[in-house]
Amino acid sequence: MTGASRARFAEVVRSEPVDVGLAALLIGAEVEPTLDVDEFLAVLDGLAASADPRDVAGLRQALSGYGGSEDDFEDLRSSLLTEVLRRRRGLPLLLSIVWVEVAARLSLSASYAMVPGRIVVVLGDVEDEHVVVDPFTGRVLDAVVEPVGPHELLLRLLTNIRALTARQPRSLDAARTRLWAVELSLLVPTHPLELRRERGELMVRLGAHIEGAAELETYAGLVDDVDEAVAADCRREARQARARLN
C-alpha cells in the first residue's frame, strides 16, 4: 500500500459512518499498489444496476454467482475484496461486504451480524422484521444474530489475514503479509494493544531491528502497570534485537 492509500484508509476508518466497502478495497492496495479503487466501486455499482427487480429478490439474483468453499479459507485472495469481486468467491465476511454494499446501492436496509462461526447479512431491521442470509452458502438462516459494527468487522477481516499467515509455512513473505495486516489494524480505532508487540516482533524478524526494538519498548511502557513480566520480556527482546547489529 502506498503512503497515500494508507492515509486514505486511516481517514475512512475514522470517519462516521465508516465506508466499509471503501476500506476493504483499500486493503487490496497492500498487495496491488497500483490498484484503481474506482474500478471496483464501479463493479459494485454494476451489480446493483443488474438487480431486477430492485428489491431483496433482485439482490439475491444479482449475487447468485457469489459464494465460497472451505478451500477459500487458505487463500489470501478470499480476504481481499478486489479479488472477491474478480473471482466471485471469498470468505463469508468478504461476501457479506459485497451483499451489504450492493444492498445499500439499492436503498435496501442491510447490516452485518455474527452467528456461530461466521459473519452474515441481516436484510431489514434486526430489531424488527428481517431476513438473515449467509452469503457463503446463499442460504436463508433461522438464527439469532449478534450485530457487528464496522470497526469490529474490519478488525476481523485483518485478523483473518493474520491467522492465515500463522497457518502458512514460516517465510519472509508470510511475515510481510502479517505485518501489513497488523499495521492496518493499528489504524482502526479501538484496536487491541497487543498488536504493538506483534508489530515490533515482526519488524525485528524482517530486519528493521532498531525500529522493531523501539516498538517493543513502547509496548513495554504501556503494559508496565498491568503485566510486569510481559513488559520485561519485551525489553529483553528489544535488547536482543539491538545486539544483532553489533
Q: Spell out the per-residue pLDDT of the chain, length 246, in tens.
A: 568 999 999 999 999 999 999 999 999 999 999 999 999 999 999 999 999 999 999 999 999 999 999 999 999 999 999 999 999 999 999 999 999 999 999 999 999 999 998 999 999 998 899 999 999 999 999 999 999 999 999 999 999 999 999 999 999 999 999 999 999 999 999 999 999 999 999 999 999 999 999 999 999 999 999 999 999 999 999 999 999 987
The pLDDT, as a whole number, for residue 1 is 59
- Cα–Cα distances (Å) from 198 to 40, 93, 183, 202, 205, in that order, read 32, 24, 10, 6, 11
Between β-strands 146-147 and 139-141, what pairing exists: parallel, antiparallel or unpaired?
A: unpaired
Handedness of CA 217, 218, 221, 222 (dihedral sign): negative
* Spatial distance between the Cα atoms of 136 and 90, rounded to a whole number of angstroms: 8
This prediction's pTM: 0.95
Q: What is the structure's pLDDT at 239?
A: 97
Query: What grid cell was written down for 173?
Result: 513473505
Q: By the 8 A CB rule, do 82 and 70 touch?
A: no
Question: b/e string for 213-240 if b means 16 or more Cβ within 10 A?
Answer: bbbbbebbeebeeeeeeebeebbebbee
> Of 130, 111, 129, 107, which Cα lies nearest the Cα of 120?
111
Handedness of CA 54, 60, 64, 66 (dihedral sign): positive
Q: What is the pLDDT of residue 207?
A: 96
Q: How far is CA 1 from the centre of its chain?
A: 14
Inter-residue contact 135 to 98 (CB < 8 Å): yes
